[in-house]
Amino acid sequence: MEHRNGLPAPRPAVPSGRESPVLSLTVIATAYVLVLPVELPDKTLFASLVLATRFAPLPVFVGVGAAFGVQVAIAVTAGSLLSLLPGPLVSGVVAVLFLVGAVLLWRSARSGPEDAGEAAERREQTSFLRAAAISFGVLFAAEWGDLSQLATAGLAARLDDPVSVFIGAWAALLTVSGLAVFLGKKLADRLPVALIRRVAALLFLVFAVVAAVETVRTLTS
């Protein structure tokens, strides 16, 4: 087949069988809904609150948000590497991760929120970069090995959509830190900590059961 000018007509596009990666709103929402209740009564909120009493809110939020971004990226990478293992092993590990998280959250619901410490009478006068750097260091250390990292790694391994998981988890963490930094002590005093932790524990348990069922089904098929 030829064009009128004598040149060969272009061949019709043939599907390659691989679609370009597209963000999944479902995965983003799943990560957000799972991570948010885990972090609301967590030490992350209270650490952000204390930092906001020492420094101006904006540099604290920037530093905390950057720390969360790095930690979520680490968790997503770990989960993505885990997904390279055999399917039944991945499902089994994910089930254990979520089960451990459910137990820890349910046990922590019996105790009150962590002590946020005494607020400073006036904020320290310091540079934007220094306040952001201090906030980054504090939250990076506080978040290491946290339940939100465990949840994020488990989702990344199970859902095989690291970018969407990253966006959802990071958005949840930014929401929590934003509430703490800009709303402050009033929010911390009014949070039904025990109820939030129990709801989060039940969410973790649901994911653990789903992963366990998938493991058994894979092994018996």
Residue-wise pLDDT for 89-110, tens only, equals: 877 877 887 787 778 767 766 6
Mean pLDDT of the 64-68 span = 93
In a domain, 209, yes or no: yes
pTM comes to 0.67
Could you tell me the residue range of the domain that residue 195 belongs to? 25-113+126-220
Q: What Å distances lie between residue 41 and 72, 95, 186, CA to CA?
A: 18, 23, 14
Rounded to 5 degrees, φ, ψ at 2 are -130, 155
Q: Indicate the helix (H) or strand (E) that contains 19.
A: none
Q: Is residue 89 part of a domain?
A: yes
Residue 202 covered by a domain: yes
**Vertex 75: Cα angle to 46 and 158 (nearest 5):** 120
Instruction: List helix spans (H) across the chain.
Output: 25-39, 43-54, 57-82, 87-108, 128-143, 147-159, 162-183, 185-190, 193-220
Within a domain: residue 11?
A: no
CB atoms within 10 A of CB 11: 7
The three-point CA angle 164-70-150 to 5° equals: 65
pLDDT for position 184: 66
74 in any annotated domain: yes
Cα distance between the two ends of the chain: 50
- Residue 102 within a domain: yes
- Does residue 143 belong to any structural domain of this protein? yes
Cα–Cα distance for residue pair 200/151, rounded to 1 Å: 11
pLDDT of 106: 78
Count the domains in the chain: 1
If one compares 140 and 25, the residue with the highest pLDDT of the two is 25
In a domain? residue 118 = no
